[in-house]
Every structure is written in C-alpha cells, then in structure tokens.
Amino acid sequence: MTLTLSLILPRERGRLATLMAPYFAEVAPEAQIDPVERAGQMLNRRDVTTFWIHRGAQRIGFAIVLNLPDDRRELSEFMILPQHRRKGLGMAAAGLILREFPGFWRMGISRHSPSAAAFWGTCLSLLPNVRHLREGAPFTDHQVKSFTFEIEGHRHG
C-alpha cells in the first residue's frame, strides 16, 4: 500500500493533539508539553509545515517541518504510530517528507527514545538522496545528538 502526505489544516488541531500526547510522553516525558497548545502553535506558524502521513486511507503518523532562514529545514517532530512501526513505513515516510524540500536539513534526537536514534541513523544513511550526513551535538537538553545533512533534488520555485 502506498504512503502519501497531506497538509494538516488548522481545524484539525484536536486530531493532531490526540497524536501529539503519546508522542511527547515517549520522546520528552518530563517536558510537560500541552499537546493541544503545541498543536495550535504549530498549525498557526508561517514558518512551519505540518503533514499527516497516510497509508491508503489510514492516518499512521505526522511530521512537523520548521522552515528556517536561508532555505534550511528542521524535522522538528516525526511520529509513526506504534502499531505501524518496524514495517519500513517510517523510512518511506521520511523519504517522502525530505524529498519535498531539497536543501539543508537538521534534526535533534530525543535522549528518551533510543529507538529513534537507531532509526534515524539507519534511515538517513540508506536514503539515496541524503548527502553530507553528519552527527553532532544535541540542540537542547532533551536530546542526545543531532544530524545535519543535505537532500539532493530539484528545488521548488
């Protein structure tokens, strides 16, 4: 079954918040982030692009991309629902999202999610359009490390 992306609309704040709650419990358990407030912030910022990740008609996760100055991006949040993990869907979804925005990327990896560190290290090393992959220091106290890389491709516009 094919994976697709669709933009998350501001009116879907409640739906996004219901997925953000278990996501934040997993990746930042002591951060005390209000998922409803955070969803509202992300859906109403001009420098953020939010995606649903679909497998057929089923919504299986979400991704939040920060659009930084100088045509750079940060994959701020990425979640595949637990029942859909370990099936190659995360790697396929990551490939779709990253291809949307060729150029320079960064991401921090939560220190509370060892599986995320393993996933992203493998995923980024296997995706064919990733160049100049580097592991670096974390951006925040909630992270264990970061990745920076470039996505090759044709830039939009």
CATH number of the domain at 3-151, please?
A: 3.40.630.30
Q: What pLDDT sits at residue 16?
A: 95
Average pLDDT per run of 10 along the chain, which is 157 residues long?
Answer: 92 94 84 88 92 94 93 92 90 93 93 87 93 92 92 67
Is this structure's pTM higher than 0.85?
yes
- Residues in contact with 60: Cβ distance below 8 Å, sequence separation at least 6, in sequence order: 3, 53, 54, 80, 81, 84, 89, 93
Q: What pLDDT sits at residue 117?
A: 87
C-alpha pair distances (Å), 48 with each of 20, 76, 88: 16, 9, 26
Q: What value, to the nearest 5°, has the Cα angle with vertex 111 and ends 80 and 134?
A: 85
Q: Are 149 and 134 in contact (CB under 8 A)?
A: yes
Q: Output the six-digit token pair for 58.
A: 């089923």
Q: Output the six-digit token pair for 16.
A: 């996004």
Q: What are the domain boundaries of the chain?
A: 3-151
Q: What whole-number distance in Å separates Cα of residue 54 and Cα of residue 37?
A: 24
Q: What pLDDT sits at residue 154?
A: 61
SS3 at position 50? strand
Q: What pLDDT sits at residue 157?
A: 46
